[in-house]
Amino acid sequence: MNNEISYFNGNETLIDDIEELWTELNQIHFEKSLDFKHRYNDFTFRQRKQSLLSSASKGKLFIAIAYDGNRRIGYCVSSIVDNIGEIDSIYVKPEYRKQHIGSVLMEKSLDRINSCDATSVTIKVAAGNEEAFGFYSKYGFKPIFTELQIATKPSP
């Protein structure tokens, strides 16, 4: 960690740059999940990429990446479809947390969404990752509902 954190912003052309970080986030969701480990175990970056590119084709996709030197240490992907903004994914490597990197990534993404006159902004939080609620509440996010689901494939 050299504390020379820099940020790079772009569109869906940066999507492959977040693969390693997204994979780390997916692993954390796998580890924290009580009932849906199979969802994260079976979910590939290729599938996530297709989903994000689908959002981009219907609206706009924005990717902000944080670097420590040349090392990618965090990212935030956001989208706008039909005037609804979404924070699709945000992650900062554990050793870089509590340094306001996630805050910068979130603020860049929300600024972009707000510049496109979105009528609302959403974020989905994986079950087991409820400790993230405190971070999201700093930006005005509040729970609106809880979705329950039956695991059709048992978790190992």
Q: Is 67 left (phi over 0), alpha (psi -120 to 50) or beta?
A: beta
Q: Given pLDDT bands bounded at 50, 70 and 90, which one contains residue 48?
A: very high
The one-letter code for the residue type at 132 is A
Specify the higher pLDDT residue, 155 or 77: 77
Per-residue model confidence as pLDDT tens digits over 110-153: 999 999 989 999 999 998 899 999 999 999 999 998 888 887 76
Q: Given pLDDT bands bounded at 50, 70 and 90, which one contains residue 1?
A: low
Q: What is the SS3 assignment for the chain? A: CCCCEEEEEECHHHHHHHHHHHHHHHHHHHHHCCCCHHHHHHCCHHHHHHHHHHHHHHCEEEEEEEEECCEEEEEEEEEEECCEEEEEEEEECHHHCCCCHHHHHHHHHHHHHHHCCCCEEEECCCCCCHHHHHHHHCCCCCCCCCCCCCCCCCCC
| pTM of the entire predicted model | 0.91
Say what the pLDDT of residue 2 is: 56
The residue with tokens 């219907």 is 58
Calculate the average pLDDT of the chain.
Answer: 92
CATH architecture of 5-137: 3-Layer(aba) Sandwich (3.40)
